[in-house]
Structure 1
Amino acid sequence: MDAMRKQLDVLMGANRNGDVREVNRKYYDRDVCRMYLVGLCPHELFQLTKMDMGPCPKAHSLQLRKEYEEARAKGVDSYDRELEDVIDRLIVECDKKIGRALKRLDDDDAKAAIAISVTEVTQTEELNELSKQIKEKLKDVDKYDLEGKTDFKIQTLEEVEKLRTERAEKQSALLLEAFNKDRASLPQPLPNLPPPPPLPAPAPDARTQEMINEKLKKAEDLGEQGMVDEAQKALEEAEALKKLPARQEPATDQKLRVCDICGAFLSVYDSDRRLADHFGGKLHLGYMQIREKIAELQVWER
């Protein structure tokens, strides 16, 4: 229900049902999201991902954002620091994740990961122009939302999605070009060789083995109590756990690189489609937005 409500909010506005409280709210009220007023609420960035923060508990209103921006221009209020503190924490955590990822690679791979910076490789005038167009289109979306022009808003959102797809594909092509230099130096598989014999299934990791033992103990206890069906179900669950692939650390022979925007692992063997999916994914786009926003806030402070 929350996801459906959010989708309706995007298309028709959060006040689509004519909430009377909206009329009486002021931008400085405690139940209004200050981060949204400044231009970016982290709750909206990672929906339906492993970083999902859930719905924002405070009100989002374009009209109140407009009132805040007018007050800020007059020097009455500024909530920039509050947003900067929040997204700075997100960036610090992401950078720690990137640091941990690099440590899991061997020295040579770590150097290569640092050398192939996603940011540096994908910074071109053409891509910067696409990013600029996307930002302008998103401003148009807000304007149409305020004016109640839902059809124009939906059309513009579709244009934004096309621009993002185009940008992701161009970014993937540039990164693929950089990866190709790595591929050229890697040993190539010999043609027409028979496939290697299948490897034995790896032993479950400690946590999975603990869960398997718990299921087996549960099955034994249920069996002693005469609860045959329940015991059989617990046994089946234990068998299913045994078939789960063991959680493993990234192997250095995959020639992994670390995205310096979101911390995801990328392989030099990835296809252009796989890389495009990465650049167009919510996690990468979300971290890109907060990094751009904090740079913008720091410029305003100067």
Structure 2
Amino acid sequence: MGRLAEMQRKLLEQMMGPEAMGTANANLTWDDPKVCRNFLCGTCPHALFTNTKMDLGACPKSHTERLKTEFNAARQAEPDNPIFAQFQTEYERNIFTFVDDCDRRVRTAQKRLEKTPEENKKTTNLARLFCFPSMREIADIELAIQGGTEKIESLGEQGKVDESMREMAAIEALKSEKAEKMQELENLSDTSGASGHQKLRVCDICGAYLSVLDSDRRLADHFGGKMHLGYHELRNTLKKFMEEREKRRNAPPASGAPSSGARPNDRGGDYRKDEYRDRGY
């Protein structure tokens, strides 16, 4: 089976369940290593980014709703069973790592938009070489337009219609030349220093480049896009992890539990606490 066909099969299996595809092992249980623990505990990133540029392909492990239902029932029946804490810790670590990779891409993209002082100076000096002559040319053209306008008025008063029309055509040509020079000057100004890159910004949710000139429709398409929404969901999941951990830390100790000091396995349960806080999750 080719790689594309295998990916299609796995995607269908994720959507319909392996039983419907005739590939499931009847004896497969939720604690089997072949079952996706991200899927059992919440969301698998493989399922969030299909058909986007961050497409991870089909998840190599099983996504079966029956097993997820059995997992949730077992966790509800035995909430203190350490296997569920193990699964949850692995899930949180996987999600954090995935979002951390995105944050790294965001930082890299932001650095690309920043110019060093040397680059800014070089670009600004180059722009000055062209800007000042262009400004003088624009001023000269403006004076010519003003002089031509006065001449047209004088010719009109003298009844010299043909000459007046020719002068008007010349002024229109000057106006077009002035507009071209103004556009050139604006383009130089846009690329001088960091101003050119300042028209771009990086989406801090998914790392995509956005333009400050984008229309509302284009921005709405981005924020409603599958990749952006996928990362938004993962970031909200991380925030929930942190909130739940803080609640557990601030909860009064249970009867018979130590009243002071660290609770058993406290550090193990907060293996990402500092990272969550530093990143605002």
Using the size of structure 1 for normalisation, the TM-score is 0.48
**Does the alignment pair 1:258 with 2:202?**
yes
Whole-angstrom CA distance in 2 between matches of 1:53 and 1:253: 30
Counterpart of 1:26, as a letter, is T
Displacement of 1:17 after TM fit? 3.4
In 1: Cα distance, 2:35 partner to 2:15 partner = 20
Pick aligned residue for 1:16 from 17, 20, 43:
20
Gaps of at least 5 residues in structure 1 are 108-189, 198-249
> Is the 2:48–2:226 Cα contact (8 Å) retained in structure 1?
yes
Q: Is the 8 A contact 1:106 1:252 kept in 2?
A: no
- Check 1:257–1:30 CA distance in 2 against 1; reply closer, same or farther (3 A cut): same
Report the equivalent of 1:286: 230
Aligned 8 A contact 2:14 2:64 in 1:
no
Q: Which amino acid in structure 1 is aligned with residue 39 of structure 2?
A: Y
2-structure distance, mates of 1:43, 1:17: 19
Residue of structure 2 equivalent to 1:275 = 219
Equivalents in 2 of 1:31, 1:261: separation in Å? Answer: 31
Give 2:41's aligned residue.
38
How many Å apart are 1:19 and its aligned residue? Answer: 4.4
Give how far 1:5 is off: 3.9
Shift of residue 100, structure 1, vs aligned partner: 2.1
Q: Secondary structure at the match of 1:295?
A: helix
Cα 1:193/1:14, change in 2 over 3 Å:
farther
2: CA distance between counterparts of 1:261 and 1:255? 18
Deviation at residue 287 of structure 1 after TM alignment: 0.9
Inter-partner Cα distance in structure 1 for 2:218 and 2:16: 33
**Higher CA-based Rg:** 2
Report the secondary structure of 1:285's partner residue: helix
Confirm whether residue 55 of structure 1 aligns to residue 58 of structure 2. Answer: yes
The aligned length equals 166
Name the residue aligned to 1:299. Answer: 243
Q: Give the C-alpha shift of residue 86 in structure 1.
A: 1.1
Please give the alpha-carbon distance, in whole angstroms, between the structure 2 residues aligned to 1:268 and 1:50.
22
Secondary structure of the residue aligned to 2:210 is strand
State the alpha-carbon separation in 2 of the partners of residues 84 and 11 from structure 1: 23
TM-superposed deviation, 1:6: 5.6
After TM superposition, give the deviation of residue 194 of structure 1 in Å: 4.8
Instruction: Output the TM-score relative to the length of structure 2.
Output: 0.51
Instruction: Find the partner of 1:97 among 89, 105, 108.
Output: 105
The separation in 1 between residues aligned to 2:28 and 2:242, in whole angstroms, is 29
Distance 1:31 1:13 in 2: 14
* Structure-2 separation of matches of 1:35 and 1:100: 27
What does 1:96-245 correspond to in 2, within 5 Å?
96-106=104-114, 193-194=179-180
| 8 Å contact kept, 1:43–1:53 | yes
Q: Deviations over 1:93-125 (max 9, x none)?
A: 211222222223348xxxxxxxxxxxxxxxxxx
Structure 2 residue 29 is matched with structure 1 residue 26:
yes
State the partner residue of 2:93.
85
Q: Which amino acid aligns with 2:226?
A: K
Given the alignment of the two structures, is residue 70 of structure 1 paired with residue 14 of structure 2, yes or no?
no
In structure 1, give the amino acid aligned to 2:108: R
- Which of 1 and 2 has higher RCO (CA within 8 Å, sep 6+)? 1
The verdict on how the C-alpha distance between 1:8 and 1:42 changes in structure 2, with shifts beyond 3 A counting, is same
* Paired letter, 1:290: L
| Shift in Å, 1:88 | 0.9
Q: Which runs of 4+ in 1 moved over 6 A?
A: none
* Contact 1:94–1:262 (Cα < 8 Å) also in 2: yes
Q: Is the 8 A contact 1:38 1:80 kept in 2?
A: yes
Question: CA shift at 1:46, angstroms?
Answer: 1.7
CA RMSD of aligned residues (A): 3.0
